[in-house]
Structure 1
Amino acid sequence: MKSTVSLGVLFAILAAPASAQEVDASDEADNTIIVLGEGLPETPAAPAYSTVTIDRDQIVTVASGRLEDVLANVAGFQQFRRSDSRSANPSAQGATLRALGGNATSRALVLLDGVPLSDPFFGYIPFSAVDPYQLSSIRVTRGGGSGPFGAGALAGTIRMESADAATLGGVSASALVNDRGGTELSATLAPEIGNGFAVVGGRWDRGQGFFTTREEDRVPATARAGYDSWYVSGRVVQPLGRDLELQARAAAWNDERTLRFEEADNSIEGQDVSLRLVSRGDWQVDALAYGQWRNFTNVVISSTRFTRVLDQKDTPASGLGGRLEIRPPVGEDHTLRIGADYRRSEGELFEDSFSAFSGALRENRFAGGVTSDLGFYVENDWQAGALTLTGGLRADRYTISDGFYRALAPDGAVISGDSFADRADWEATWRAGALFAASDTVTLRAAAYSGFRLPTLNELYRPFVVFPVVTQANASLEPERLEGFEIGVDLAPAAGVAVSATLFDNRVEGAIANVTLEPNLRQRRNLDAIDAQGLELAAAVDRGPVSLNGTMVLTDAEVVGTGFAAPLDGNRPPQTPEFAASVTAAYRIAADAQISATLRHVGAQFEGDRENDVLPAATTLDLFGEARLIDRLSLVARVENLFDEEIVTRNQGGSIDIGTPRTIWLGVRWGY
């Protein structure tokens, strides 16, 4: 915490002179202070990369009220499994884009107000730690390489921006209940303070959940996917001058769930703090520092004897980092970005293994380590009439250190004890793009890029068992590296109508996957590559009371494998559909009433790397409706999975888990 504050003070000292000069040189009329609560604006060439923006109206009308379902409106977004954050094991909720294969770790970089959200140990995204109602917009860039966003943006970047006080409307609250007795409560207070504002909010979700096991497969020990989670956050945005703005944020959350069987409980908790200074003067500066503290627990119950076999009782992890970007005044035709970012992840796992037959303690296990990345980048956009060019270089110095794995017998005797050699290296990545405004209605674009992702501490050091399959860790894993290119066209054939199409080709060298070595034994390995080529389509219509937003993606993805991975060569990566689509149609009946429907389809996927255990295609329809009752009070109705489609989320040798069935919500909102 001390380091966060001291960095913020340093950044303020560096940025203040430019701001002070502007204030001194301006007349009284120019002293108007506008507080945005955002980072620096997008650069002119940002549209060169395939991007979909989700606006606030779409965010707050999703039928489940969950962030992951908001993101699912962008075809190609996927988690490792199809479960949402009420019924999934959190460690399996990695986020990726472009069908680059699922391994429970995020291949997309997810940012909230510029701060990475991924867990420092596992790499999953704590979706329940973000209340969608507090967001103003989400910008999803598919591909694009690492660029100025930091290492980890392998498959793309998901940038979420918090809403300001004017958008949130002072006081807002909601209370809903579903047909299984689950509840969703949230409230936000957003007062104006001085020339800035503050936002304090919280949310509490709880419910008995649904059975993730088919009725014919249930046993007395089968449990509903119960959940109980809360989240609180506070944010302050204040001007320090006409062009200098301070943004401070703190958040805490806890999320407890049950998976398949009684007492198979898991939980995540976290605390985040961040401090950001944004200068919008001639010398533009975006300086950010943050700290994160997380924990994870998980109890595994035997699927045959229904006794405790594993207690992952403690996984403390921390992430510390920051980012500094400077945009010097280099002329109206150029936007130059010079910056550096840093992230350090540290974590340890403490778990106990028990005999499924006697219940006796078998082993105490400990694993952990540290990774860090220091990156430097420079990027320039050049506008020359109808043509806009962009290009950038990035260099990262990463370290993997202090890795260990120990297993002790109940009497303290060492069963295995490994300490792994420290490693460090440099990675160089690049990206370039072009936009050409062929006419008022047609824009052509092209881009090429590279990126990389470090293996997580979980991938490096933590083995796990989903009986009878053992998955080994691998301390020798190398970073994943991506190279790709894309071409696209954006059309605006009429007012309120936008259509885009993108052809892409991405290749991930050294893709990390759980590779089957023999029956019931897997290990995390670097594959030769995963190749993915595809077509992305997006359309948006906003004509009076009617709006339509749709995305679709067709992807041909395959594993390139030799040696140990030769049996996988040509296979489609696990958890990867060939086709996905989402379309939302909305109609505003009047100024105080609206309805919308979201139709989603996800094609068939394979559970395993040998193209085995199929997850059938699934099509769902969600509904949302809101009508004002009095003043700022509205009645809200939501329906998830209207036709009760069976969504298979896991298929391990015929052992099936299913996703959210039809769920009906009814409640009220104040102030939204």
Structure 2
Amino acid sequence: MKYLSLSLVLAAIPTVAAAGTEASDTDRIVVTGEGLSLPPGTPAYGSVIIDRDRLTNGASGRIESVLGDVAGFQQFRRSDSRSANPSAQGATLRALGGNASSRTLVLLDGVPMADPFFGYIPFSALVPDRLSVVRVTRGGGIGAFGAGAVAGTIELASATRDQLPTFGASAFYGSKDATELTASLTPDLGGGYVSLSGRWDRGDGFQTTPRNQRVAATSPAAYDGWSTNLRAVAPLSATSEIQFRGTIFHDERTLRFKGADSMSEGQDASIRFISRGAWQVDALAYIQARNFSNIVISASTFRKSLDQRNTPSTGIGGKIELRPPVGPDHVLRIGADTRFATGDMFEDGYNANIAANPVTSRRHAGGEQMTTGLFAEDDWTLGRLVLTGGVRADRWTISNGFYRATGTGAANNSFADRSDWQFSGRAGALYRISDAVALRGAAYSGFRLPTLNELYRPFVVFPITTRANAALTPEKLKGVEAGIDLTPIPGLTLSATGFINRLDDAIANVTLTNVANTRERQNVDRITAKGIELTAVGRVDDFLLSASYAYSHSTVHAPGMGFDGLTPAQSPRHAASATLAWEPEQGPALSATLRYVGKQYEDDLQTDVLPDALTVDAVARLPLGHGVTLVARGENLFDEEVITRNAGGSIDLGTPRTLWIGFRFAS
């Protein structure tokens, strides 16, 4: 599959090049590389925009850290892609419960980015320099996006030609002998362009283990990763264009102990046709080949206990959206999308209590799943009032599931195929009382299939064993929200949203009372999240303030269970972020970001606490002329202790104070 993806990359280069050169002089245009414009009803669901300037000036240089500007965004743990296990980097919103799989649909140019087997997001491959804008919609149902958006949608858009220098480069050196190098080349080609970029970063890493828990086998969280990206955009006519993107990435990390190494890699390719004529068309096809491996080291003997040596997976999908000309007051969207995922894992268990460290079992598990949806959505503009509504019908299948093991725990299980229809929809209204005040409200539903990992693969994070569950059913969400957007003075926008979301059949890691140190993935009755979200964005002269706060009161409803009425695992009640920047048109620039995450619990029974944490980051830029800018970055400047994992007192820590110095060049 890797070679198939590479072949698609190579094959598409002459295709888009020819498209750019064959357009006649009379209809040639400079393409934008963007998708179709947003429908007028989009603001009814509320969203937070992160622009390119903010994306490219984060203290860590990582997209997941910048997404923290949106209060309520979280991963399974409070670690970024330097010190987290890749398979735990799921994205979620609105405190709907800790889950290593993503409850938020993450799209890059319309392509779902979740790993086909695990459901995690490969954040290290989503390089901020390659992006134009990010739009985060908390809640909002699935609409025309596709299945999986039960907690919201994060839409990433690639940078356009006018945002990309013909040649750009950066080089940074940071704490713990860390380096970060990037380069990009973006020449014009006919009426379009091609952009080739690469990034490589590595570091010796910090100690994730507290000093009083370190042993001889303790190792810092070293990391080494690279990614390359090719994007080509070419016009086919004055109103249509073709876009191609190919990405290859490889990421290696060491977590907690020497030899506890993980690896994730991928090869993605997509091709997209955009027509902005009378009949607007957005047609997309993509393929993804991913792999993951991980070695688990015993915390008592410090020998290998598990080798997840190979987890190949493939995602194939596409979407077509049509917008027929139905009059100036309506924007009608009709279409279909589909996604097929297949994957399996091969892992070996070892006896870590014997010096010879023999293999005691070999396990193989996997399966397939597919979702195909039909959707229709219409936005109706009536003066200051915009009404929007849509429906979806999705056919899902889970098939060919199996779990086989030899040696200890021998098994040979094949699981029955399942399929069903899921109907969902959303509706909203936006009323602009004046240029300064707008009211909005929305109701929506959505669903998420359990991942292949949740269905078929058990795992161990010492001292806890978590069982898989092949009988898991889809999660289903219903939600309502209402908000107000204020623009009291030019340049200042204030927003408030109140919401109630209910996630039925929520998938959670449930502690078993009859088996010590054991959890199992189960569908619980529901998780209910209620809260309020506040955002503020303002600019006065050369100063820019961006702030966000989320209060989320989440409760698990599981009659008869020990955690009934408790807060879901990994769900803070309070989260806040604020960035103050001084950005004159010329000369130096400064920015500082404050982030707060409230107390949360590691487990469903609320026995292990992750205390609240307050961190401060900063970035300073000094233009030196001739396209060169000197940049200094600082993460967690006051060296706040951030606890990312607490399993019965076994603790992991997040990023300590980390300083960077480097330069950027653009021409």
Normalising to structure 1: TM-score of the pair? 0.95
Match of 1:369 among 367, 370, 375: 367
CA shift for structure 1 position 466: 2.0
Partner of 2:239: 243
Partner of 1:392: 390
For residues 88 and 3 of structure 1, the distance between their equivalents in structure 2, rounded to whole angstroms, comes to: 28
Residue identity in the other structure for 1:185: L
For residues 318 and 177 of structure 1, the distance between their equivalents in structure 2, rounded to whole angstroms, comes to: 36
Residue identity in the other structure for 1:380: D
For residues 542 and 626 of structure 2, the distance between their equivalents in structure 1, rounded to whole angstroms, comes to: 21
Residue identity in the other structure for 1:494: I
Match of 2:407 among 409, 425, 430: 409
The 5 A counterparts of 1:398-547 are: 398-409=396-407, 415-518=410-513, 519-547=516-544
For residues 166 and 443 of structure 1, the distance between their equivalents in structure 2, rounded to whole angstroms, comes to: 32
8 A Cα contact 1:244 1:278, kept in partner:
yes
Match of 2:188 among 184, 187, 192: 192
Partner of 1:213: 209
CA shift for structure 1 position 145: 0.5
For residues 535 and 147 of structure 2, the distance between their equivalents in structure 1, rounded to whole angstroms, comes to: 27
8 A Cα contact 1:577 1:604, kept in partner:
yes
Partner of 2:545: 548
Residue 149 of structure 1 aligns to a residue whose secondary structure is coil
For residues 70 and 257 of structure 1, the distance between their equivalents in structure 2, rounded to whole angstroms, comes to: 21
Partner of 1:180: 176
8 A Cα contact 2:28 2:191, kept in partner:
no
For residues 442 and 197 of structure 2, the distance between their equivalents in structure 1, rounded to whole angstroms, comes to: 40
8 A Cα contact 1:589 1:595, kept in partner:
no
For residues 110 and 517 of structure 1, the distance between their equivalents in structure 2, rounded to whole angstroms, comes to: 32
2:324 is aligned with 1:328: yes
Match of 1:109 among 99, 102, 105: 105
Specify every segment of 5 or more residues in structure 2 that has no aligned partner in the other structure, as ranges.
none
CA deviations on 1:364-422 (whole Å, 9 max, x unpaired) are 00000000000000000000011100010000000000000011129xxx921100000
Partner of 2:556: 559
Partner of 2:599: 604
CA shift for structure 1 position 490: 0.4
Specify every segment of 5 or more residues in structure 1 that has no aligned partner in the other structure, as ranges.
none
For residues 466 and 381 of structure 1, the distance between their equivalents in structure 2, rounded to whole angstroms, comes to: 48
8 A Cα contact 1:110 1:118, kept in partner:
yes
Identity of aligned residues (%): 55
Residue 237 of structure 2 aligns to a residue whose secondary structure is coil
8 A Cα contact 2:367 2:399, kept in partner:
yes
Partner of 1:357: 353
Normalising to structure 2: TM-score of the pair? 0.96
Residue identity in the other structure for 2:522: R
CA shift for structure 1 position 258: 0.2
8 A Cα contact 1:94 1:105, kept in partner:
yes
CA deviations on 1:79-133 (whole Å, 9 max, x unpaired) are 0000000000001000001110111010000011111110000000000011101
Residue 147 of structure 1 aligns to a residue whose secondary structure is coil
Residue 562 of structure 2 aligns to a residue whose secondary structure is helix
8 A Cα contact 2:368 2:398, kept in partner:
yes
8 A Cα contact 1:396 1:428, kept in partner:
yes
CA shift for structure 1 position 614: 0.4
Match of 2:223 among 219, 224, 227: 227
Residue identity in the other structure for 1:609: D
Match of 1:160 among 140, 156, 160: 156
CA shift for structure 1 position 360: 1.1
Off by >6 Å, runs of 4+ in structure 1: 2-5
For residues 179 and 266 of structure 1, the distance between their equivalents in structure 2, rounded to whole angstroms, comes to: 22
Partner of 2:74: 78
Partner of 1:382: 380
Partner of 2:573: 578
CA shift for structure 1 position 291: 0.1
The 5 A counterparts of 1:112-151 are: 112-151=108-147
Partner of 2:254: 258
Residue identity in the other structure for 1:648: I
CA deviations on 1:34-53 (whole Å, 9 max, x unpaired) are 41101111000000012000
CA shift for structure 1 position 590: 5.2
- In structure 2, the CA distance between the partners of 1:214 and 1:172, relative to structure 1 (3 Å rule), is same
CA shift for structure 1 position 4: 11
8 A Cα contact 1:338 1:377, kept in partner:
yes
For residues 50 and 91 of structure 1, the distance between their equivalents in structure 2, rounded to whole angstroms, comes to: 30
Partner of 1:594: 589
Partner of 1:293: 289
Residue 583 of structure 2 aligns to a residue whose secondary structure is strand
For residues 272 and 323 of structure 2, the distance between their equivalents in structure 1, rounded to whole angstroms, comes to: 16
Residue 567 of structure 1 aligns to a residue whose secondary structure is coil
Residue identity in the other structure for 2:406: L
Residue identity in the other structure for 1:166: D
For residues 112 and 284 of structure 2, the distance between their equivalents in structure 1, rounded to whole angstroms, comes to: 11
The 5 A counterparts of 1:337-352 are: 337-352=333-348
For residues 112 and 451 of structure 2, the distance between their equivalents in structure 1, rounded to whole angstroms, comes to: 14
For residues 440 and 664 of structure 1, the distance between their equivalents in structure 2, rounded to whole angstroms, comes to: 43
CA deviations on 1:549-587 (whole Å, 9 max, x unpaired) are 111000100001124xx2211100000000000000100
8 A Cα contact 1:165 1:191, kept in partner:
no
Residue identity in the other structure for 1:98: R
8 A Cα contact 1:4 1:289, kept in partner:
no
CA deviations on 1:448-483 (whole Å, 9 max, x unpaired) are 000000000000000112233221100000000000
For residues 325 and 53 of structure 1, the distance between their equivalents in structure 2, rounded to whole angstroms, comes to: 23
For residues 520 and 42 of structure 1, the distance between their equivalents in structure 2, rounded to whole angstroms, comes to: 49
CA shift for structure 1 position 633: 0.5
For residues 190 and 575 of structure 1, the distance between their equivalents in structure 2, rounded to whole angstroms, comes to: 42
For residues 474 and 242 of structure 1, the distance between their equivalents in structure 2, rounded to whole angstroms, comes to: 53
Residue identity in the other structure for 1:532: A
For residues 192 and 612 of structure 1, the distance between their equivalents in structure 2, rounded to whole angstroms, comes to: 58
Partner of 1:613: 608
Residue 339 of structure 1 aligns to a residue whose secondary structure is strand
8 A Cα contact 2:169 2:184, kept in partner:
yes
CA shift for structure 1 position 2: 9.7
CA deviations on 1:608-646 (whole Å, 9 max, x unpaired) are 000111000000000001111121001000000000000
For residues 566 and 372 of structure 2, the distance between their equivalents in structure 1, rounded to whole angstroms, comes to: 35
For residues 602 and 223 of structure 1, the distance between their equivalents in structure 2, rounded to whole angstroms, comes to: 27
For residues 317 and 578 of structure 2, the distance between their equivalents in structure 1, rounded to whole angstroms, comes to: 37
CA deviations on 1:184-231 (whole Å, 9 max, x unpaired) are 000111111110011100000101000000111110000000000000
For residues 176 and 440 of structure 1, the distance between their equivalents in structure 2, rounded to whole angstroms, comes to: 44
